[in-house]
Amino acid sequence: MTKRRMFLRMVTASLLRRRSRMLIALLSIGIGATILAGMVTIYYDVPRQMRAQMRSYGANMLLMPAEGETLDSEKLAAALHKLPEDALVGASPYRYVRLDMTSRQQSFTTAGTDFEQVRKTSPYFSVEGSYPEAPREVLVGREIAGTIGVKVGSDMELTWQPAARDADGSAEDDRVPGAVLSGSAEGFGKQMVYVTATLDGEAKIAEISIDASTQTPEYGGRAQTEPAFAAQFIGKALPLEMEKDIDALSGATVTSAAVVEALNAARAADAAAGAGPSGQPKTTRYRVTGILVTGGEEEGYVFMSTDDLITLTGEDKLDVAELSISADEAQLNAYAEALTGDGIMARLVKRVTKSETAVLGKLQALVFLVTVVVLILTMICVSTTMMAVVSERRREIGLRKALGASDNSIRGEFLGEGMFLGLLGGLMGAVLGFVFAQVVSVNVFHASIVFRPLLLPVTVLVSMVIAAASCLMPIKRAVAIDPAIVLKGE
């Protein structure tokens, strides 16, 4: 048997046969290593997690068209490609226009945006009701809602006056005459009636042609053949109402109603499709799905989806995009630099970025100091326990010395034992420490932690060094003692 095998045999015997003592030492190192691995993991992960929380403060970068340029969805998408996907929390495009609510003689700033992104970039938006999901649904700021008395579920008509905002007096000139509407509706016997109307500059009907060939000639068919019926429509604005605007043909009420319905449907479809005559004021009816509460100026705005606003105005144009990016200030500056160009200018929202840097800095310093203090205390705790466990063996050390062991070989044996315990406890601690950090992360941030492979060898190494170092002190004292004194009876 070699000396090395005997060495291993003695060490394993000590570990296995002095089970309760070794368990105590192992437990102690394991706890120390757990706290070490856990705290260090938390320390490294906290800024990342907290930064994600800080995103609740909203956008920290704005993208705007550069001087003399315009911004649209395509350019924005191209710019966003320059950002790493995992850093971008959200990007909300905004187009601001003023829309009129003619019935109340009010005018509101209306923002066209992407609600799915808004939820990400402005998590502090509080909506009574719900965010719009279907087309022609809007969100109304609390102040507006209070002023005009709309509630969740009410409808409101908003009108886009393309020219009104350009310059005074030019509005009328922009309205192009000759726009054509055509539509159809079910007439008598579920047969279709087709209508085509030409509008004049004031959106009034200038010409009309009715195709009622599917209807009974002596009744409904007269809608097509009797000029007096068609004449009623000329000079009237859509939508029309039976009885009030139009008198039905006698004996052909169903057909008459179908003509009116076809015209009204054509107008509604036209408004919705946005294919209407450009330069015409366009009115669309919207359903209010939610009232927005923010405590800020957004409460004075109406919000609709970008698509709805494009349909209404016929323009794909953006004024600004709000970006929420998870990154530190230096990184944000780098991103801003990368994004600027191609007609886009990127600016940081200082209020958010500066404050985030300040607050995160404090938090990280807090966790750092706590980690350092906890680690020092834990390591001392581990050492004292190891010292107690080793001190117990002073007599054994004396005996070994009496049997001719040199101080070095005694040190070697105890260090071997200590380092083995350190290895075992360190492995245990690295795993438990990850669990510890995971528990904290899941409970606090509802997110799991990133496993750092490097931490495993570091934890094991530190545990071994600490276990070995804390063995050394009592051994040093023990070997300094004369074996005779230890071996003498009590």
Nearer to another protein, 39 or 181 (CB): 39
Shortest reach from residue 403's CB to another protein, in Å: 5
CA-CA distance, 412 to 392, in Å (whole number)?
Answer: 18
Q: Determine contact, residues 93/76, Cβ cutoff 8 Å.
A: yes
Q: Annotate 198-261 with three-state secondary structure.
A: EECCCCEEEEEEEECCCCCCCCCCHHHHCHHHHHCCCCCECCCCECCCECCCCCCHHHHHHHHH
Nearer to another protein, 382 or 419 (CB): 382
Q: Determine contact, residues 57/352, Cβ cutoff 8 Å.
A: yes
Shortest reach from residue 473's CB to another protein, in Å: 11
Distance of CA 426 to the CA centre of its chain: 38
Shortest reach from residue 106's CB to another protein, in Å: 8
Q: Retrieve residue 79's tokens.
A: 């710019």
Nearer to another protein, 144 or 199 (CB): 144
Shortest reach from residue 84's CB to another protein, in Å: 23
Shortest reach from residue 293's CB to another protein, in Å: 7
Nearer to another protein, 272 or 399 (CB): 399
Shortest reach from residue 252's CB to another protein, in Å: 50
Cβ-proximal residues to 7 (8 Å cutoff; 6+ apart), any chain: 412, 413, 416
Nearer to another protein, 55 or 175 (CB): 55
Shortest reach from residue 19's CB to another protein, in Å: 9
CA-CA distance, 179 to 182, in Å (whole number)?
Answer: 10
Cβ-in-10-Å burial (0-12, 13-18, 19+) of 248 comes to: middle
CA-CA distance, 118 to 125, in Å (whole number)?
Answer: 8
Cβ-proximal residues to 222 (8 Å cutoff; 6+ apart), any chain: 212, 229, 249, 252
Nearer to another protein, 23 or 237 (CB): 23
Nearer to another protein, 33 or 197 (CB): 33
What does the radius of gyration of the chain's CA atoms come to, in whole angstroms?
40
